[in-house]
Amino acid sequence: MPDAVIQVSNLTKTYSGGFEALKGVDLHIRKGEIFALLGPNGAGKTTLISIICGLVNPSSGQVLAGGHDVVRDYRAARSKIGLVPQELTTDAFETVWATVSFSRGLFGKPKNPDHIERILKALSLWSKRDTRIKELSGGMKRRVLIAKALSHEPEILFLDEPTAGVDVELRRDMWDVVRRLRETGVTVILTTHYIEEAEEMADRVGVIRGGEIILVEEKAELMRKLGQKRLTLHLNEPLDAVPVSLAAYDLELSSDGMVLTYSYDTQGERTGITRLIGDLREAGIRFRDLETKQSTLEEIFVSLVRSPS
């Protein structure tokens, strides 16, 4: 893939205890996209990110970041990457300003107070710049970690569970931050428990289970492909039971008899909607409203990770 900013090829990781965390992962991340990596706990999300960022040594396979091998050419590769870890691991006694400036230096960039100021302002940390980190709330610490990861102007940003334990308002703020980053051309890879987050933000979604990537798809495509749709009909008059003439449609009738629900596969050759409506008229059933609803990504995800491999 020519526009891939990260290329993972046949990556494996077996921990010293014998646990096989990654079993030959292949993954391409496109430049400038927001990629959501979904998976249950222990699926290998953090291991994969940790190898790309240099925290864990791979057992075999290769990772290229911005065209640079993350092991052999680690300097060039790592200077392009910013990492926001899952745990709130921050210094305690340093000020926000000092710790963010430290990160910039660590990644080999000369001092640039203007840039640090921009980041702190964008993350609503500016008023806290001289505050010691231990005095900050959990949400504020999360912002500090993001500020640290952005301090050296990375092209690729990893967010490992960025909004875990963060209140709804702050989560919305962070999504805004991530979207603004994408506008500046930064590639964002996030792992998340909140399917809502992937659904809201991601361009593409990858699902990892048991150390294997089982699916990578455009989010819209994924939802279209795997999505069951439901047609809900609100009736004019209540029904006692679904008429025998409509038995073939596998309809569900609500307990008050006022709502009929029809599930269909959007991928199917024929959805059967036209025929259903014709048959309803034939049966003398009139409805005053109808709606269709797509499965959420959450429903898709749950069905994916539950199904046997």
Partner 1 sequence: MNLHAIRAIYAFEMNRAFRTLLQSVVSPVISTVLYFVVFGAAIGSRIEEVNGVSYGAFIVPGLIMLSLLTQSVTNAAFGIYFPRFTGTIYEVLSAPVSFVEIVIGYVGAAATKSLGLGLIILATAALFVPLRIEHPVAMLAFLVLTAITFSLFGFIIGIWADGFEKLQLVPLLIITPLTFLGGSFYSIDMLPPFWQTVTLFNPVVYLISGFRWSFYGVSDVDVGVSVAMTGVFLAICIGIIWWIFRTGYRLRT
Q: Which residues bind partner 1 (CB under 8 A)?
A: 15-16, 53-57, 74-79, 81, 83, 85, 87, 89-94, 98, 101-110, 148
Residues 6 or more apart in contact with residue 109 via CB below 8 angstroms? 151, 152, 153
> b or e along 76-103 (b: 16 or more beta carbons within 10 Å of the residue's beta carbon)?
ebbbbbbbbbeeeebeeebbbbebbbeb
- The smaller minimum CB distance to partner 1, of residues 132 and 229, is found at 132
Edge-to-edge strands of the sheet including 287-294? 252-253, 259-265, 228-235, 287-294
Minimal distance, residue 20 CB to partner 1, in Å: 14
Q: Strands 212-218 and 204-209, how do they pair?
A: antiparallel
- The smaller minimum CB distance to partner 1, of residues 77 and 202, is found at 77
- The smaller minimum CB distance to partner 1, of residues 47 and 295, is found at 47
Asked if residue 208 lies in contact with residue 41, where contact means CB atoms within 8 angstroms, the answer is no
Taking the C-alpha atoms of residue 128 and residue 295, their distance in angstroms, rounded to an integer, is: 42
Minimal distance, residue 62 CB to partner 1, in Å: 17
- The smaller minimum CB distance to partner 1, of residues 93 and 268, is found at 93
Minimal distance, residue 261 CB to partner 1, in Å: 49
CA 37, 161, 171, 227 dihedral sign is positive
- The smaller minimum CB distance to partner 1, of residues 64 and 207, is found at 64
Minimal distance, residue 105 CB to partner 1, in Å: 3
Minimal distance, residue 139 CB to partner 1, in Å: 18
Taking the C-alpha atoms of residue 72 and residue 138, their distance in angstroms, rounded to an integer, is: 36
